[in-house]
Amino acid sequence: MFISRIIFRLFPPEVFISLREIYRTILKTWYAPFSELEFRKILTEEMGISKGSIVFVHSSIDNLNIRFDTFRLLEILLETVGEEGTLVFPCWHFTYRAEDYLKSGKVFDVRRSPSALGMLSEMARRYPGAKRSLHPINSIVAIGRHADTITSSHHTDIYPCGEKSPYYLAMQMGGIIAGIGVNANFMSFVHCPEDVIKLKFPIKTRLDEVFEAKVKKEDGTVEIVKTLAAHPQIKNNNINDFLKKYIPSSISRNITIRGNRFFITHPKELFDSMIELSKENKTIYTKKAVIKNT
């Protein structure tokens, strides 16, 4: 991880991407791919996912070395949590700055706007009966027993990761967070404590302006949803370093198996820890995040 950060800083983005692809190819050549049975065991034995689990999934299929069809991944996850369980995925539809998207005046179509966060997220969006939140910049999709409860109120709070968000609600319902093909540096839940305690958080993570965005709902009607956007300085973070320094592995840990990255996090314990640490100015943000909340 340390080496990859150095390479990213030293080389242009296109060179970094090329080197990363070469590295992934080498890993897939060096290690045997996972069988479906082996992958299921990772989910249950290494990550603790079981029948009835509520799992917030971050993923990158490109980073996985598997010998079965990638379209089976969602099915395997659904089979693992069963009919009583729920799968939750980040599903926003753009990858550039939220502020720029909100200023563009574009309409977010909850039924048709594809996920920009990978193949597994998009498969979940298209899954029959999936529920997608109406939030214009941090949309979430969920499948399973608690899908509607987790997603239905997201758009009613100007804080995208606040107390009405799927992040907070899934946590309160005893959910866990899982990374498949990614490590914990991709975990967006870390912004939930910030949005819940708001101005009590030491670092300024939201812009002051309340934006109004157009959202086209399932029935074709358009609703105006109000939201805050991320402050540009939130890019100055290092989630993995924060976790390694302050958070016990029993709460959040990265897992590497045959060159494949995973992570598992217990959000309630992480949430409580991050709130307490923020009181001591210990956050995921580096010294470059200089603007404070006042």
Rounded to whole angstroms, what are the CA distances from 162 to 53, 167, 180?
Answer: 22, 8, 25
pLDDT digits (tens, 9 = 90+) for 67-119: 999 999 999 999 999 999 999 999 999 999 999 999 999 999 999 999 999 99
Q: How far apart are CA 238 and CA 230, in angstroms?
A: 16
With beta carbons less than 8 A apart as the criterion, state whether 233 and 204 touch.
Answer: yes
**Rounded mean pLDDT of the chain?**
92
Residue type, 207: L
> Model confidence at 1, in pLDDT bands (50, 70, 90)?
very low
pLDDT digits (tens, 9 = 90+) for 140-182: 999 999 999 999 999 999 999 999 999 999 999 999 999 999 9
Q: Is the pLDDT of residue 275 over 50?
A: yes
Mapping DSSP to helix (H, G, I), strand (E, B) and coil, where does residue 201 land?
A: coil
Rounded to whole angstroms, what are the CA distances from 201 to 57, 194, 275, 286?
Answer: 26, 6, 8, 15
Tokens of 73: 């991944």
Task: Give the start-to-end residue ranges of the domains of the chain.
Answer: 1-30, 35-278
Q: Is the pLDDT of residue 18 over 60?
A: no
Q: Is the pLDDT of residue 26 over 90?
A: no
Q: Write the CB contacts of 134 (distance below 8 Å, at least 6 apart in sequence).
A: 108, 110, 154, 155, 215, 217, 223, 225
With beta carbons less than 8 A apart as the criterion, state whether 179 and 146 touch.
Answer: no
